[in-house]
């Protein structure tokens, strides 16, 4: 839990004073036999928001320093007792979460933003504001469900009257979903994304809300109250692969089953602000406790770790083939394929290629649509205006059975007014404004990210990250053979 910068020190003192011995409770069976809390980091800051990144194999957590002026940072744990300032002046990033696309989500309290950072070796490779609203009090905690929905809390610490919980859908729309709590703090969803859990720092207990099909929530209910005399406020939380919830507050970390029954208690000497699972196997519990960070060996992996493992296994399965025949508009078959302008083109039957070859230009819009369906071209800009796309103003619109992005609400409205073939033609008749035949980074071979762009021989080139962008500019001749747009230009 955090308050406004000038009240941070007072808040910490209050939290520390509230820590008293919880009633006798056993350690949960999910703690490894004989395991004890091990201090892995300590500083003068108040620590919060831990997230484990499996790619870098590091723990990232937030730090709030008092003083005048106050400062906030994101720290990377590089080893026992060794932390690196990964992001300075974070504007109050508090709760964090590893997004589905492998980025660090952050609830930015003092910047009034929901942030997204890519993991770079010396700091964020890039920082994106997914949403910003200066009327928000101070975004506090954040989580994401398997379908891409993002939930975050916005507590009213000052008056405890206008606190809210919001949903941001994958198309970047923000919806108010909960406003029946005086002080919502930590937030997390069940592993299947069907229940949302929110800690109430005013009532000193936890509530649950069913998640509907559209991502909004139904009526909430009181979910867990350990009944201990310790009334230190609930804060951050995590979940394990068995759907047990780990709630910080009330003297340490309370573990509750999905049914809201107590499973055990992990006592901490200091106020515990947040907790997460990490480690190579996901079986290390990390606890941010005031000025210290602890680790604890577990017998179970974290829920995020288990969900990532399932997604990884699912990716290994063959992708369902979906494409529309450019001639008849029927579902295309993989065994009815010809090469056209260096790309695969699929038809619904063996007769359609002959019809197509008589007058291929007639079907150019349908061809472009199919290439987008089969990921043989990539979107890099708004297809109507050619403007760049960002995570705040861009809007997703369904066109011809696929989702494309446009640069603003005005373009989205324009497309929605069109119907059928006119709508498809507005997007796919020509590729020059919004699409590229380059789908892979010439340096790494990974999917391109439109924000990393360069110009070479009057042609636009895209990359997956700043590092590859820099490598290409240092020696472009090494990579030009991998650029299809240059090959096409030579043929012309």
The answer to which of 131-140, 281-290, 298-307, 349-358 has the lowest mean pLDDT is 298-307
pLDDT for res 345: 97
pLDDT for res 491: 52
Q: What letters, b where the CB count within 10 A reaches 16 and e where it falls short, cover 294-316?
A: bbbbbebbbbbbbbbeeeeeeee
pLDDT of 241 strictly over 60: yes
Tell me what the mean pLDDT of segment 376-392 comes to.
Answer: 89
- Residue range 425-478, pLDDT digits in tens: 999 999 989 999 999 999 999 999 888 888 888 889 999 988 899 899 999 999
**CB-side neighbour CA atoms (13 Å) of 291:** 9
* Alpha-carbon gap, residue 189 to 208, rounded angstroms: 9
pLDDT of 310 strictly over 80: no
pLDDT of 334 strictly over 50: yes
Tell me what the mean pLDDT of segment 73-79 comes to.
Answer: 97
- Residue range 109-154, pLDDT digits in tens: 999 999 999 999 999 989 999 999 999 999 999 999 998 999 999 9
* The model's pTM: 0.68
pLDDT of 492 strictly over 80: no
Q: Where are the alpha helices (DSSP H) in 76-191?
A: none
pLDDT for res 171: 86
- How many beta carbons lie within 10 A of that of residue 336, not counting itself? 16
Split at pLDDT 50, 70, 90, the class of 311 is confident
Split at pLDDT 50, 70, 90, the class of 487 is low
pLDDT for res 3: 47
- Residue range 86-111, pLDDT digits in tens: 999 999 999 999 999 899 999 999 99
- Domains observed in the chain: 5-315 (2.120.10.30), 438-492 (no CATH)
pLDDT of 22 strictly over 60: no
**Omega of the bond prior to 446 within 30 degrees of 0, cis?**
no
pLDDT of 6 strictly over 50: no
- Residues in contact with 225: Cβ distance below 8 Å, sequence separation at least 6, in sequence order: 204, 205, 206
pLDDT for res 239: 98
pLDDT for res 17: 37
pLDDT for res 8: 42
User: Among residues 61, 42, 40, 43, which one has the least CA distance to residue 52?
Assistant: 61
* Alpha-carbon gap, residue 214 to 211, rounded angstroms: 8
Split at pLDDT 50, 70, 90, the class of 488 is low
User: Among residues 217, 170, 168, which one has the least CA distance to residue 196?
Assistant: 217
Contact 422, 414 (CB under 8 A): no
Tell me what the mean pLDDT of segment 33-48 comes to.
Answer: 97
The answer to which of 50-64, 123-137, 293-307, 391-405 has the lowest mean pLDDT is 391-405
pLDDT for res 318: 73
Residue predicted with more confidence, 441 or 18: 441
- Residues in contact with 269: Cβ distance below 8 Å, sequence separation at least 6, in sequence order: 19, 289
Tell me what the mean pLDDT of segment 150-166 comes to.
Answer: 97
Tell me what the mean pLDDT of segment 202-207 comes to.
Answer: 97
* Alpha-carbon gap, residue 391 to 407, rounded angstroms: 10
């Amino acid at each position: 839990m955090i308050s406004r910068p000038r009240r941070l020190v007072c808040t910490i003192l209050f939290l520390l004073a509230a820590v008293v011995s919880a009633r006798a409770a056993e350690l949960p069976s999910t703690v490894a036999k004989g395991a004890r809390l091990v201090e892995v980091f300590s500083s003068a800051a108040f620590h919060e928001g831990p997230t484990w990144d499996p790619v870098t194999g590091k723990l990232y957590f937030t730090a709030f320093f008092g003083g005048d002026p106050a400062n906030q940072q994101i720290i990377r744990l590089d080893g026992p007792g060794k932390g690196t300032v990964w992001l300075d002046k974070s504007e109050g990033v508090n709760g964090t979460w590893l997004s589905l696309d492998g980025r660090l989500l952050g609830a930015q309290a003092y910047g009034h933003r929901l942030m997204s950072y890519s993991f770079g070796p010396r700091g964020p490779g890039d920082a994106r504001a997914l949403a910003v609203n200066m009327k928000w009090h101070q975004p506090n905690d954040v989580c994401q469900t398997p379908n891409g929905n993002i939930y975050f809390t916005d507590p009213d610490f000052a008056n405890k009257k206008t606190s809210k919980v919001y949903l941001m859908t994958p198309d970047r729309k923000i919806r108010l979903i909960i406003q029946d709590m005086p002080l919502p703090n930590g937030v997390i969803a069940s592993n299947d994304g069907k229940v949302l859990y929110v800690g109430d720092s005013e009532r000193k207990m936890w509530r649950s809300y069913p998640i509907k099909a559209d991502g909004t929530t139904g009526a909430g209910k009181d979910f867990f109250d350990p009944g201990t005399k310790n009334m230190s406020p609930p804060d951050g939380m995590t979940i394990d692969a068995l759907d047990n919830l780990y709630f910080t507050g009330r003297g340490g970390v309370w573990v509750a089953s999905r049914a809201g029954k107590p499973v055990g208690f992990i006592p901490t000497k200091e106020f515990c602000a947040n907790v997460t699972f990490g480690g190579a196997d996901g079986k290390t519990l990390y606890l941010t406790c005031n000025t210290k960070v602890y680790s604890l060996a577990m017998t179970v992996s974290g829920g995020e770790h288990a969900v990532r493992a399932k997604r990884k296994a699912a990716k290994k399965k063959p992708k369902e083939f979906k494409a529309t025949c450019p001639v008849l508009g029927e579902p295309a078959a993989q065994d009815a394929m010809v090469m056209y302008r260096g790309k695969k083109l699929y038809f619904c039957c063996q007769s359609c290629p002959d019809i197509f070859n008589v007058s291929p230009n007639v079907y150019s819009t349908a061809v472009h649509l199919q290439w987008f369906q089969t990921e043989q071209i990539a979107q890099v800009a708004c297809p109507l205006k050619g403007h760049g796309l960002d995570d705040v103003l861009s809007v997703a619109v369904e066109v011809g059975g696929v989702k494309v992005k446009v640069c603003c609400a005005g373009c989205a409205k324009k497309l929605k007014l069109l119907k059928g073939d006119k709508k498809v033609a507005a997007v796919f008749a020509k590729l020059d404004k919004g699409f590229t035949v380059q789908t892979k980074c010439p340096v790494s071979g990974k999917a391109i990210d439109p924000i990393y762009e360069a110009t070479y021989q009057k042609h636009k080139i895209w990359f997956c990250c700043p590092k590859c962008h820099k490598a290409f500019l240092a020696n472009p001749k090494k990579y030009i053979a991998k650029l299809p747009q240059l090959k096409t230009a030579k043929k012309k």
